Amino acid sequence: MSRKAKTLRHADPHRDREAAKYENPLPSREMILEVLAREGVPLAEDHLVSLLAIEGHERDSFARRLSAMEREGQVMRNRRGAILVADKAGLVKGRVQGHPDGFGFLKPEDGSEDLFLGPKQMHKALHGDTVLARVTGLDRRGRREGSIVEVLTRSHRKVVGRLFVEQGVMFIVAEDKRIAQDFLVPPDGANGAKHGQVVEAEIVQQPSPHAEPIARVVEILGNYADPGMEIEIALRKHDLPTEFSAESEKQAAKYGDKVLAKDIKGRKDLRALPFVTIDGETAKDFDDAVCCEPLAKGKGWKVWVAIADVSHYVRPGDALDRDSRERGNSVYFPRRVIPMLPEALSNELCSLKPEVDRLTMVCEMEISTGGVVRHYGFYSGVIHSHARLTYTRVAAVLSGARAEPPVDKALVAGLKDLHAVFSALLGARAKRGAIDFDSVETQMIFDDHGKIERIVRVERNDAHRLIEECMLAANVCASDFLLQNNQPALYRIHEGPTPEKLEALRSMLKDFGLSLGGGDEPHARDYAQLLAKVKDKPFAGLLQTVMLRSLRQAVYSPENVGHFGLAYEGYTHFTSPIRRYPDLVVHRAIKAVLGGARLDAVDWSALGVHCSETERRADDATRDVESWLKCYFMQDHVGDEFEGTVSGVTGFGLFVTLDELFIDGLVHISDLGADYYQYDQQRHLLRGERTGVRYQLGARVKVRVVRVDIETTKIDFVLVDAAGRSPSAEGEMPHAVPVAVAKKPRDQDKKHAKLDTRLSDGRKKRK
């Protein structure tokens, strides 16, 4: 080993870090990259070994480090096997996003502009793979175009799809339409599956520039239209865990179904207080219970929000914790739930059922008549819920009607006090300027065969909002408690609009003679004031949708940047630990503070990313299932006509939401008549060059259902006029079709006004 090499290795700025992590420390990744960059040319591995003074007994470990750096796109090998820095080679690392039409995009990790990947490039990888790509120029539309150089990680080990046999050749068409490649099945790889059946298959050969991917069937799921098949497909397509480990099941069963006397020791005994749960009719996992009593001299109320103490049973690193962290959250499909915790906990021991003792984490608050939380405290408690109430029954009590079945008279005063608290909190919400987008929630009613019988609107009442406001208050207190005690945690953050989306919104508002206050950094109050201003205008639905789409998606993060939509400086999730992992770790963080300790052994950033991803995964899976069910339902309505609202405008047509069914379909641009239509993205409209006809977001239209493709979950409409005529080949438009927003949108026009499931974000709808 040369003296120069020893000196170079000794100068590694991260030497101490490596020594703390490994018994025999190697040169850090940063040092390896620095040496490669300093040399300025690709290096043979032996030369790099010499430069870094790697000893003989270290060669295997060093080779593994280089391989890991290759997988993560930090370095790559050229055709001669020499090692070079990926950035120096002008390569971009990112994830592939496929498109059903065969092309795709590379989403760079550094947040730079996407790369367009043509069908030839997409033959090298599958949707979701992580790759290195080289920028090759611009395509005809001016987009950056790329060429995949290397696939770093494969995101798919299995694929779910339908098996087809054509001219003796077997292949699987993936259910995930972002995977446009078919998977060849060898003659002995069908495992008994028949033509047209839905299967899950193991990928035995990934795609390459010169070969199709190959897969072998490992499970036959059944026929495409079998009841429940849509959920089985979604579970596998989105890789949702469905089975708990044997160790988790054993651990959950060990706790039994009753709270033990030893578990109550050291807890505040609240069993005499008249706690109640208020949920939907079909709920089984009761996270929260509430109780309220007035303070003396009309100074406000004392409110207790008791939340299931899941952290007492699920400890960091144990089997239950590993399984629940992997899931991240419960997934609520129509007629089926994939719980985050085994049912022995989620529906029994942790669920705040009536007339049994339950362990809780309690947020006790004093709330003024002005809706201000003057004091709060957290502690471990034990409660005994006095009743399991539903929103419908509580709403009846609050309106003075008779509830069915009747509510115990001893509980009525407490419910009315809670309603008074709700009114005070609602007033405070308006004062701080929280955005209150209107939205429509729907419920699918199923027949005995598991298919949709009808779709109905869910009416939200004061009982829903009462609980939401109580949960919001407790979540804000939890955030404040953690911030005041400098305890790291996961916050629920929601950032305001990006500069680009803000500019687009303001550009559209000018068309209506309106403006959004707040300058370059508007506040939620500015949005709320604009919503109030246009509330009764004919174009209210249009502007509400555009305003909503200007905002970013809420995520979990250890960096508290506040919640824009709710107008909170700090906000976290505390109230649903049975079905959300972030709430569980927030409970642990609060307990650590109460015990005079600090919860640090958590990679908060990685956990925030993971929980945000599992939440999106659940949303995508439920959306897939609902889309399939709606398509199946609409097969019986081909040829029928409906009124609806333009809920989306794209360069290829209009998306229309039907009034009575709350189902979306596409009017393709080719079905708008013989004209050239120009797409105005900022104004959300299509304009005919010859006719001047305009179709804009929020417009009222009448459509006919012409096609339903259940395999691609696509529904096609055509526009019709009052006489039932569609646009003619000569381009004559139906007289009843509006050229702009002609009248006030109906309530369902607001279907897409959805933020963070609901802007309340206190407690998501239970199914």
pLDDT range class, residue 729, cuts 50, 70, 90? very low
Residue 264 or residue 298, greater confidence:
264
Q: Give the pLDDT band of residue 2 (cuts 50, 70, 90).
A: low
Predicted pLDDT at 618 = 97
Mean pLDDT, rounded, for 101-125: 91
Q: CA dist 243 to 239, 324, 555, 648, Å?
A: 12, 11, 26, 38
pLDDT at 722: 58
C-alpha angle 492-352-570 in degrees, rounded to nearest 5: 15
Q: Is the pLDDT of residue 195 over 90?
A: yes
CB 717 within 8 A of CB 666: yes
Instruction: For residues 154 and 182, give the distance between their C-alpha atoms in angstroms, rounded to a whole number.
Output: 17
User: Are 76 and 70 contacting, i.e. CB atoms less than 8 angstroms apart?
Assistant: yes
Domain ranges across the chain: 3-87, 90-153, 158-224, 246-459, 638-750
Question: Residue 481 has what pLDDT?
Answer: 98
> Span 101-108, mean pLDDT?
93
Tell the residue number behind the tokens 């395999």, with chain if given.
711
User: Per-residue pLDDT for 115 more than 90?
Assistant: yes
Q: Which of 751, 744, 550, 534 lies closest to 647 in space, CA to CA?
A: 751
Give the pLDDT mean for 262-287: 95
The band of 1, judged by pLDDT with boundaries at 50, 70 and 90, is very low
- Using an 8 Å Cβ cutoff, are 106 and 112 in contact? no
- SS3 state at 506: helix
Over residues 448-476, the pLDDT tens digits come to 877 788 888 888 899 999 999 999 999 99
Of 311 and 744, the one with more pLDDT? 311
**Residue range 17-64, pLDDT digits in tens:** 888 777 778 888 888 888 888 877 788 888 888 888 888 888 888 988
Distance CA 612, CA 581 (A): 11
The pLDDT of residue 513: 87
Q: Which two tokens stand for residue 560?
A: 């508290």
Predicted local distance difference test score (pLDDT) of residue 440? 76
Under the banding of pLDDT at 50, 70 and 90, the label for residue 762 is low
pLDDT at residue 5 is higher than 70: no
Segment of 55-64, 128-137, 229-238, 269-278 carrying the highest mean pLDDT: 269-278
Which among 4-18, 366-380, 509-523 has the top mean pLDDT? 366-380
The pLDDT-based confidence of 765 (bands split at 50, 70, 90) is: very low
The whole-angstrom separation of Cα 83 and Cα 531 is: 57
Q: Which CA distances in Å does 111 have to 75, 93, 512, 605, 616?
A: 19, 10, 34, 17, 19
Tokens 């008994």 label which residue? 192
Residue 379 has pLDDT above 50, yes or no: yes
SS3 content of the chain, % helix, strand, coil (to 5): 30, 25, 40
Q: Give mean pLDDT, residues 636-647.
A: 94
CB 436 within 8 A of CB 759: yes
Class of domain 158-224: mainly beta
Is the omega angle on the peptide bond into residue 745 within 30 degrees of 0, that is, cis? no
- Which residue type does 572 have? T
Distance CA 540, CA 533 (A): 9
pLDDT band per the 50, 70, 90 thresholds, residue 492: very high
pLDDT digits over 736-760, tens only?
A: 333 333 333 333 333 333 334 334 4
Q: How far apart are CA 621 and CA 64, in angstroms?
A: 36
Q: How many alpha carbons fall within 13 Å on the CB side of residue 754?
A: 12
Q: What pLDDT, on the 0 to 100 scale, is given for residue 546? A: 85
As a whole number, mean pLDDT of residues 722-746 equals: 43
Q: What pLDDT is stored for residue 628 in this prediction?
A: 92
* Type of residue found at 121: Q
Residue environment code for 2-37, b if the CB has 16+ CB neighbours within 10 A, otherwise e? eeeeeebbeebeeeeebeeeeeebbbbbebbbbbbe
Token pair listed for 284? 């089984």
Instruction: Quote the tokens at residue 764.
Output: 């998501």
Distance in angstroms (rounded) separating the CA atoms of residues 542 and 741 = 8
CA distance 98 to 626: 22
Predicted local distance difference test score (pLDDT) of residue 570: 96
Domains 158-224 and 638-750 share a fold: yes
> How much is the average pLDDT of 279-283?
91
CATH 1.10.10.60 corresponds to the domain 638-750: no
Contact 488, 600 (CB under 8 A): yes
Q: CB neighbours (10 Å) of residue 574?
A: 31
Amino acid at 419: H
State the Cα–Cα distance between residues 269 and 267, nearest whole angstrom. Answer: 6
pLDDT of residue 732: 44
Exposed/middle/buried for 410, CB within 10 Å: 0-12, 13-18, 19+?
exposed
Using pLDDT thresholds of 50, 70 and 90, give the confidence band for residue 764.
very low
pLDDT for residue 767: 38
**CA–CA dist 764, 585 (Å, integer):** 18
Straight-line distance from the first to the last Cα atom of the chain, in angstroms, rounded to the nearest whole number: 67
Calculate what percentage of the chain has a pLDDT beyond 70: 93
Higher pLDDT: 250 or 284? It is 250
The residue with greater pLDDT, 398 or 60, is: 398
Q: Kindly report the average pLDDT of the chain as a whole number.
A: 88
The pLDDT tens digits for 409-436 are 999 999 999 999 999 999 999 999 998 8
Give 510-519 contacts, CB < 8 A, sequence gap 24+: 511/683, 512/539, 512/543, 514/543
pLDDT at 735: 36
| pLDDT for 745 | 34
Residue 537 CB-density burial (10 A; 0-12 exposed, 13-18 middle, 19+ buried): middle
Assess whether pLDDT exceeds 60 at residue 130: yes
What does the pLDDT average to over 695-716?
Answer: 92
Which amino acid, one-letter code, is at 337? V
Specify the CATH class of 90-153 in words: mainly beta
Residue 683's pLDDT is 86
- Structural tokens at position 447: 């027949």
Q: Residue 240 has what pLDDT?
A: 95
Q: What is the pLDDT of residue 419?
A: 97
The architecture that CATH gives domain 3-87 is Orthogonal Bundle (1.10)
